[in-house]
Chain A
């Protein structure tokens, strides 16, 4: 299964709408980095509104994606993390402090624009 990556000007938008298994998560990581390379995107928004569970493996993949993208010159923002997901992550002891977040897609884009342009 592949997660679609949309391009909007110099940003990439991803809405994760499937239950993430390990393989899909790793495939997504690879696809995204390739897309950043191909398009030269400066910012990425990954929307997790429909994701109802993040375990330590997926958290690690997401954290890695953020760091890897940054190395390639693209700033990533995670948006729409649900309260239940946030609470379980905190219980697991994962606070992802270095990962930028925003409430929704719109605010995620605003945040990127502010950081990249202003």
Chain B
């Protein structure tokens, strides 16, 4: 039984709501101070990507469980243009928006598991999970 909470992302304010939702859920699940910050930051990065590149999409957060481990799962989906070269966006320092280029590889480092699936022309889905220590 998994309760999922979602935030639609279509403007800058939604980025703030998404990360507040993430912080609350992380706190509830019993994550420590540092991991709460990691999760919140990862959500912020993912939500900003949606806002900047896809225009709109959504961030869903749910409790995760695997082999006795408990954790938090972030699912970021959009129907944007998709990513042409996934390997390239996963390189440190790669940016098309003039940001710091920390985006996706940064999210991957903040979280424990990271999966990305993107189809050019139809959208992107990113699933990232953090396990309780």
CB pair B92 A55 closer than 8 Å: no
CB pair A85 B37 closer than 8 Å: yes
Q: Which secondary structure dominates where chain A touches chain B?
A: helix
CB pair A84 B102 closer than 8 Å: no
CB pair B16 A21 closer than 8 Å: yes
B window 18-62: CB within 8 A of A = 19-20, 23, 33-34, 36-38, 40-41, 44-45, 48
CB pair A83 B34 closer than 8 Å: yes
Interface residue from B20, B34, B110 paired with A92 (Cβ < 8 Å): B110
Q: Shortest Cβ distance from A52 into chain B, in angstroms? A: 6
A window 64-113: CB within 8 A of B = 82-85, 87-88, 91-94
* Cβ of A19 under 8 Å from chain B: yes
Given the known inter-chain contacts A23-B12, A60-B100, A85-B37, please indicate yes or no for A93 contacting B105, CB distance below 8 A. Answer: yes
CB pair B45 A55 closer than 8 Å: yes
30 contacts between A and B (CB under 8 A): A19-B20, A21-B13, A21-B15, A22-B12, A22-B48, A23-B12, A52-B23, A52-B36, A52-B37, A52-B40, A53-B23, A53-B37, A53-B40, A53-B41, A55-B44, A55-B48, A59-B100, A59-B102, A60-B99, A60-B100, A82-B37, A83-B34, A84-B34, A84-B36, A87-B38, A92-B102, A92-B106, A92-B110, A93-B102, A93-B109
